[in-house]
Each structure stands twice: as structure tokens, then as C-alpha cells.
Structure 1
Amino acid sequence: MTENVSSPALMLWLAPPGARAWRCTPAPAEVRNFHTTLPDYSPTPLTELPPLAAELGVSRVFVKDESCRLGLPAFKALGSSWAVHRVLSARTVSGDEPVTLVTATDGNHGRAVARTARLLGHHAHAFVPQGVHPQAVAAIVAEQAEVTEVAGPYDEAVRLAAEAAAAPAAVLVQDTAWPGYEQIPGWIVEGYSTLCVEIDEQLTAEGIVAGPDLVAVPVGVGSLAQAVITHYRSRPSGRAPALLSVEPAAAACVLESLTHGAPVSVTTGATAMAGLNCGTPSSIAWPYLHSGLDAAVAIPDPDSARAALDLAALGVYAGPCGAAALAGLRAALTGVGAGERRTALGLDSASVVVLLSTEGPTANPHSTLDH
């Protein structure tokens, strides 16, 4: 059961020592093999940005640029493609006919589900909460999906999508979980593991065999963070990096839950970081977030906008959600108390940092940047 609380202002949470020692089971190795069979698959860039390393007082900063993943402007297709593959494989064994894939979305996930459905000859129905830009809705419609716009927040869209998926020949493909609905969200999380495997390979090519010292990841319901935690907390050797989650101050359900020590629901507000505008952590993500994160930060929209402009000046084009990782890292490593936080996170002038830029500017029309 989750408690309803108000969303916090800008604040930071630090875990007690031990997050880097926590261990879990790794994602299945066959996920990456599956993705390599897809026609549009190729690893997304890992770009080094020395000016950011100098600014933040570390040795090297890399940005994992998800602005073009499987032909879409965000990382979400990794999860939806693997989950739909698992869903349809199970139904094929039963001899079932084509299905309607139902989901709730702030934009990127719904578009990825709709693209997957279209390519495989199935149908898609996306429920979109209020506040999503009409261009994001149009992008889902362009994938030949049915779209229902909801006069309420993301959590309400999820509820209505779950109800619609009870229809015959319909399946809910949702990237958040709750008790009783956890298998498909778990497959989506597995799908995101390919991103982390690519980072390992790309850092090794840069001579960084032991891995990063810190990874910063934008967070909505926590599914991508769960995948990142799973990857780095299941490795038998190499560095155990510090892991930092970053959310909008208007929708910081993970930070608020970590502060309370239990999952809570927050009342969300408007934010340009639309893909992170979520009020309740995923039930399957929560144990990983609680045990495996070193720190969590909530940032205001202007910080994300500034980070997007700074990344663009360095040749990496990100929307508000993608730029959140840089904004969150700045919040953690600068300002009053920064020295103590750097020590708690195990960072010094020799450290290697990876930022996950989860979307390109075309993924979120609130962004004024054009790739």
C-alpha cells in the first residue's frame, strides 16, 4: 500500500553505506542477442565530454546518447521490443490470433509499443495523461495506434489502460508494475539491460575495463533505474559504481519513497520532463531502488533546460528528460555540502562518470533544440 504525499522541492537523499555491496541476479544474456537480430539495431553512442569532467572535478565524463534507438528518439524501444517478443511468443504457442497491445504513456513508451505492434502486424491502444504535448500524441497516432487522451495524471492513465486490457485479445504492456501485474514490466526492465551491456563494451574500448565510478540515471517509475541497478549490482568483479537517480521536483516519487523508507505516491505537478512525470514507483523496481541506489536528487525544470543547452553546445542533443542526468549530477556535486557528498559517493579527481541521456530533443516537443 502506498501513502499519498506532496511532491518535494529540490532536495537530495543519500543512502547509508552498503548500497554498493548489495547484490542481485543479472538480466538474462539472451536479451542482447535478441536485440542484435532487429533490423535497426546498433549500439547508441557513448560520447566523452572533457569540459564536463573539468567542471565537475572528475577524470572523465561520458554520455550514453539514446536520441536514436531502433529508429525512435528514446531508449524505450529496448524494453517494449523484448517484452512484446515474450508476450507474443507465449501466445503463438497457444495458437492465439493477433492482439491489441494496450499501454499508458507520457509519450516515448507508447510510441515504442505502437511501433512494435505495427511492425509485427498487431494493434496498439495508448492512454495518454493530460499535459502530454499534442506532437507527442501525433507521433503515437502516426504509428497507427488508437489513442485515448485522459483528463488526469499518469497514474489515472495507467488505471484506465489496465481496465481496457481486460478486453478479449488485448494485452497490457506497461512499464510500471503493481502487485498482481509484474511479469510484463519485468520483461521490459530486462530489455533495458542491453543499454548497460553496450556501456561496458564501449568503456572497455576506451581502456576503462573496470567500469564507471558513478552512473546517473533519470527516473520516472524506476524501471530503467532497476535495470541499471541490476546490471551493476550483479557483476562479480570490477568497480561497484555509485548510482544516482534524478527526478523532476514536481514528480519525485522515488526520492520521496527513499526518504520515507517505503513506497509512497506523490501528487505530481507540471514539468517539461514529461517522461519522468510519474507519481508512484513500480512495485518491482522498489526493492532495487531501496537497496541499490546510493543517492537520489530532485531537480527543477530550469536546471534540466540549462543542462540540455550545455549538452547541445558540446554536440550531444537531449530533451529535458535526457538532460536531467547532468542536472542531477551538478546538484549532487556542487553547492553547500558538495565535499561531503563527493566523499560519500566515492568520487575524486580520478573518477569516471556515465550520464544516461534517455531521449533526444525530438522525443519531447517542450525542447527548443533541433538535432
Structure 2
Amino acid sequence: MLNNASSTRITRTLPWFARAAARSWTCAPAPAGVRDFHAALPGYAPTPLTELPALAAELAVGRVFVKDESSRLGLPAFKALGASWAAHRALAERTAHHPSTEPVTLVSATDGNHGRAVARTARLLGQRAHVFIPQGVHPDAVAAIASEEAEITRVPGSYDDAVRQAAEAAATAADAILIQDTAWPGYETIPGWIVEGYSTLCVEIDEQLAAADATAPALVAVPVGVGSLAQAVVTHYRSRPSAPAPALLAVEPEAAACVIESLTRGEPVSITTGHTTMAGLNCGTPSSIAWPYLHRGLDAAVAITDPASARAASDLAELGVSSGPCGAAALAGVRAMLTGEGAEEHRTALGLGPTSVVVLLSTEGTAANPHRTTGH
């Protein structure tokens, strides 16, 4: 066990990191108006928050709810929330500075879900889309993006290679805007708008828990790739000092645990990732704008194996929730924490008891892409 003033890292069967001070950290909230924007979109409806008593019994907590993102604005993952809001903001800003009736091209790199969400948004807004796709993406995912009338460029390299090519293409075209869901120094405004778009998911959870006569969550578990969704979750729950602060748990694949490594070192680092079926979480570098929120606002992070994710996806399916390997990571991570070796220590660190409410974010359905999705 390695101890310092603010954190503890315990390595047992699975890597795990905890930070005791996270629930006392606060930040500014997401801007008002995001939920109203989404509510005005064609086909908008809150995604289900499904209570699963069998999981509550297994995990020895009061109630377990799964936020089911298997159908969001007509797509099988949560990504449309961020893509639509960011495109709306980016196009409005461009029009304010360069009034024109000519369509622009929304450019993005993707492993699947984000690129399809950008392409769908562009089509609905009467714009064009150009999506860069790295090697290893399943043909069905490529076909789904193409069905949104997007131009596709195949990149013979990694996701990071595709991001670089997309950024270069957008920078050299006068009529293009890069809509990318990870940030780096010099490119942070639009990724920030994408994070803001995800706030709608958290607002829905508040409303749905209230409708279910449930107390505020004691634990929220979120799958993490580059950390954009986790940034939105941290922002939501750490910007309400008057409400009980839940523990926030990030879940990563063992093959790509860049957030745990960064938290352990106390600074963002890049790692070499391996193969994982949770390909949408196979990210080696935290987003530059997400990192401060992850560093200060996460209570814990855990890394899980592919078999654990597969088991969680199968169990969720039996309980009526469609979840791909990335979405099921939330359940797999909570299981690793609360039923594996060191469970009592983990429960204490997270402040969980027999009446606690747990919320799991299932970020994709099985129809999203059985092989690859875009990093969260």
C-alpha cells in the first residue's frame, strides 16, 4: 500500500485508486440551456433509468439503477448529446463571425459512435461530414457512419493517428470545423462544448430518481476512455454543494488504464495501450480539459478485465438492459469493488452502506458496435 496526504493506491487482483478528499471539492456547474436545446431536437426523450433489484441484492446495497443509453436520439449510444450541442455552438459562433449560407464540413475522428453522432448531426443541420476512421473498426460501424451521408477516410493506424489526420484536414480547409471529443493544448473549446452536452444525461438522472422516490445516489459509476463523460459527471455532482455528494467511480480496461496511472502520478500521462474488447475505452491519454476534474473530483478508479465486462453485459441483457462491453464496464467495475477481494475496505472508502443508492452509466447498447466504439 502506498500512502500520501490525499490518495491511496491498492493493487490486488485489479488496479484501484482512491482519493479521500474528492467529495469536498467543488466546481462551477454546466451552463443552463443544454437540456432545453436537446428537448427541442426531433426524437428527443429521456433514456430509461432502470432499477435492477437483483443487482442491489448481489452488491448488498439499497437500490441499483442503470442509465440505459442504448437508444439516444435515434442512435445506440450517448454520444449524440455532446455532438449535437457542440455542433450547434460551433456553427452559431462561425455564423456570427463569418455569415454565410454555404454548408460547412464537420470533421471528426472516431472508432464508431462519436463519428456517427457527428455525421447524423451534420445531416440534420444541412451540413456535410468528413469522418476519419482508424484500422480495426468493424465494417458494420463504418457502414453506419456512411449511412449518415458522411465522407469517410480510412486511416492505416491507431485512433490517435486518426485524430491527428482529422485535425490536420480541418485546419487546412476553409469550410471545415473539427468536432472532436478529446482535447489537447490549443484545442479545448469545442471538446468543452461536447462535455457540456453530456450534462443532459445527468439532469435526467436527477429527475428520474426523484420520480422513483429514490434518495440521491451514494455512488455513480462511469466508464472512462479519455474522460469527457466523466468530466461531465464530476461537473454535475461537484457543483451542488447543498446536495449530498456521491462517490464517483471511474472504470477503465486493464489494457488502457491511463486515468489510474495519471491519478497515481498526480499528473496526466500517456501510456501504451493493449488490446481490449472495450475498444471505446482503449485510450492512452486523458483529455487535457477533463484531467483537472478527474484529478480533483473522482473518488476512485478501478481497472477491469475483458471477461468481467463480458459477464456484466450478459447479465444486464438477462435483466432486460442492452449494453455493449464499454457500457457494461460500469457494472463490472462496481462488482470488482464491492464483491471482490478488499470489498469491505472499498465500501468504507466509498461511503457505502446497506441502504445506499448506486447508479451505473451504461453508455451504449449492443447494437452500437460489438467491436469498437468511441472513447468516453
TM, length-normalised to structure 1:
0.94
Is residue 263 of structure 2 the alignment partner of residue 258 of structure 1?
yes
User: Please, which of 145, 148, 155 is the counterpart of residue 143 of structure 1?
Assistant: 148
Following TM superposition, by how much is the alpha carbon of 1:121 offset from its aligned partner in structure 2, in angstroms? 1.1
Is residue 182 of structure 2 the alignment partner of residue 179 of structure 1?
no
Q: Do the aligned residues in 1 keep the contact of 2:109 with 2:133 (CA within 8 Å)?
A: yes
Q: Do the aligned residues in 1 keep the contact of 2:14 with 2:302 (CA within 8 Å)?
A: yes
Q: Do the aligned residues in 2 keep the contact of 1:189 with 1:223 (CA within 8 Å)?
A: yes
Is residue 188 of structure 2 the alignment partner of residue 154 of structure 1?
no
Following TM superposition, by how much is the alpha carbon of 1:151 offset from its aligned partner in structure 2, in angstroms? 1.8
2: distance between equivalents of 1:88 and 1:259?
Answer: 39
1:322 matched residue in structure 2: 327
Matches within 5 A, 1:189-338: 189-209=195-215, 211-338=216-343
* 1:109 partner amino acid: H
* 2:210 partner amino acid: T
271-280 or 302-311, which deviates more: 271-280
* 1:335 partner amino acid: G
1: distance between equivalents of 2:249 and 2:195?
Answer: 18
Give the length in aligned residue pairs.
359
* 1:99 partner amino acid: V
1:82 matched residue in structure 2: 85
Is residue 50 of structure 2 the alignment partner of residue 13 of structure 1?
no
Following TM superposition, by how much is the alpha carbon of 1:126 offset from its aligned partner in structure 2, in angstroms? 1.0
2:4 matched residue in structure 1: none
Following TM superposition, by how much is the alpha carbon of 1:221 offset from its aligned partner in structure 2, in angstroms? 0.4
* 1:54 partner amino acid: A
The DSSP-based 3-state class of the residue aligned with 1:265 is coil
The DSSP-based 3-state class of the residue aligned with 1:297 is strand
1: distance between equivalents of 2:45 and 2:347?
Answer: 35
Q: Which whole-Å deviations, capped at 9, do the CAs of 1:211-257 have from their partners, x for residues lacking one?
A: 10000000110000000000000013222000001111111211111
Following TM superposition, by how much is the alpha carbon of 1:10 offset from its aligned partner in structure 2, in angstroms? 6.4
The DSSP-based 3-state class of the residue aligned with 1:363 is coil
Q: Do the aligned residues in 2 keep the contact of 1:102 with 1:172 (CA within 8 Å)?
A: yes
C-alpha distance 9-163 of structure 1, shift in aligned 2 (>3 A) = farther
RMSD: 1.4
Q: Do the aligned residues in 2 keep the contact of 1:154 with 1:277 (CA within 8 Å)?
A: no
Following TM superposition, by how much is the alpha carbon of 1:299 offset from its aligned partner in structure 2, in angstroms? 1.1
Q: Do the aligned residues in 2 keep the contact of 1:117 with 1:124 (CA within 8 Å)?
A: yes
1:59 matched residue in structure 2: 62
Is residue 169 of structure 2 the alignment partner of residue 169 of structure 1?
no
Unaligned runs of 5+ in 2: 1-10
* 1:179 partner amino acid: P
1:95 matched residue in structure 2: 99
* 1:312 partner amino acid: A
Q: Do the aligned residues in 2 keep the contact of 1:12 with 1:295 (CA within 8 Å)?
A: no
Following TM superposition, by how much is the alpha carbon of 1:62 offset from its aligned partner in structure 2, in angstroms? 0.1
1:353 matched residue in structure 2: 358
User: Please, which of 43, 46, 49 is the counterpart of residue 46 of structure 2?
Assistant: 43
Q: Which whole-Å deviations, capped at 9, do the CAs of 1:72-96 have from their partners, x for residues lacking one?
A: 0000000000000001111222213
Q: Which whole-Å deviations, capped at 9, do the CAs of 1:257-293 have from their partners, x for residues lacking one?
A: 1121111111122221121111111000000000000
1: distance between equivalents of 2:75 and 2:88?
Answer: 18
Following TM superposition, by how much is the alpha carbon of 1:9 offset from its aligned partner in structure 2, in angstroms? 10
Following TM superposition, by how much is the alpha carbon of 1:180 offset from its aligned partner in structure 2, in angstroms? 0.5
Q: Which whole-Å deviations, capped at 9, do the CAs of 1:306-334 have from their partners, x for residues lacking one?
A: 00000011111101111110001111112
289-298 or 129-138, which deviates more: 129-138
* 1:303 partner amino acid: A
265-274 or 58-67, which deviates more: 265-274
C-alpha distance 349-185 of structure 1, shift in aligned 2 (>3 A) = same
The DSSP-based 3-state class of the residue aligned with 1:103 is strand
* 2:41 partner amino acid: L
| Ranges of 4+ aligned residues in structure 1 off by more than 2 Å | 8-16
User: Please, which of 113, 118, 123 is the counterpart of residue 113 of structure 1?
Assistant: 118
Identity, in percent, stands at: 76
1: distance between equivalents of 2:164 and 2:256?
Answer: 18
1: distance between equivalents of 2:75 and 2:302?
Answer: 28
1:5 matched residue in structure 2: none
Q: Do the aligned residues in 1 keep the contact of 2:17 with 2:264 (CA within 8 Å)?
A: no
